[in-house]
A = this chain, B = another copy of it.
Amino acid sequence: MKVFSGIKRLLFGRRLANAQMGETLLPKRIALPVFASDALSSVAYAPDEILITLSLAGMAGFMFSWEIGLAVGVVVAVVVMSYRQTVHAYPSGGGDYEVAKVNLGRYAGLTVASSLLVDYMLTVAVSVSAGVINAKAMLPFLEGHEAWTAVAVIVFLTIVNLRGVRESGGAFAIPTYVFMGSMLAMIGIGLFRIFVLGQELMSETADLIVVREDGAEDVMGWALVAILARAFSSGCAALTGVEAISNGVPAFKPPKSRNASRVLAMLGLLAITMLLGIIALANLTKVHLIDELTGTHYIDALGNTIHSAATTVTGQLARVVFMDWFQPGFYIVVTATMLILFLAANTAFNGFPSLASILAKDGYLPRQLHTRGDRLAYSNGIVALSLAAIALVLIFNASVTALIQLYVVGVFISFTLGQIGMVKHWTRELKVESEPEKRKKMRRSRMINIVGATLTGIVLVIVLISKFTHGAYLAVVAMGVFFLLMLAISNHYRAVEEEVALTPDSDRALPSRVRGVVLVQQVNLPTVKAIAFARATRPTTLTAVTVAIDDDAVEEILDQWEAEDFGIPLKVIASPYREITGPFIKYVAKLRTENPRDVVSVYIPEFVVGHWWEQLLHNQTALLIRTRLHFMQGVMVTSVPYQLASSDARKQRARKASAPRPPR
Contacts and interface: CB of A to CB of B under 8 A. Distances in A.
Interface of A: 17-19, 361, 366-368, 370-374, 376-377, 489, 492-493, 496-497, 499-502, 506, 508-514, 523-526, 528, 532-533, 535-539, 549-550, 560, 564, 575-582, 599, 601, 603, 606-608, 614, 616-618, 620-621, 624, 626-633, 635-645, 647, 650-651, 654-655, 658-663
Nearest to A17: B576
Given A368-B620, A582-B660, A630-B639, 5 more contacts: A17-B577, A371-B621, A500-B644, A506-B528, A636-B641
A608 B631 contact: yes
10 contacts: A361-B550, A370-B549, A371-B578, A371-B580, A373-B580, A510-B536, A511-B532, A536-B599, A606-B630, A608-B630
B536 A577 contact: no
A574 to B, nearest CB: 9
B506 A578 contact: no
B549 A532 contact: no
Given A528-B502, A630-B639, A660 B371 contact: no
Given A501-B525, A636-B641, A578 B537 contact: no
A421 to B, nearest CB: 22
A291 B661 CA distance: 66
A502 B524 contact: yes
A501 B526 CA distance: 9
Contacts of A489: 617
Contact of A663 (B577, B635, B640): B577
Nearest to A601: B537
Nearest to A652: B631
B532 A508 contact: yes
Given A502-B523, A525-B501, A533-B599, A580 B374 contact: yes
B532 A578 contact: no
Contacts of A608: 630-631
B658 A582 contact: yes
A366 B624 CA distance: 15
B658 A373 contact: no
Contacts of A549: 370-371
A663 B581 contact: no
B535 A510 contact: yes
Given A373-B577, A537-B514, A366 B620 contact: yes
A638 B641 contact: no
A612 to B, nearest CB: 12
Contacts of A645: 499
Contact of A374 (B376, B539, B581, B630): B581
A533 B367 contact: no
B616 A366 contact: yes
Contact of A641 (B575, B635, B663): B635
Given A496-B644, A502-B524, A514-B537, A658 B620 contact: no
Nearest to A357: B578
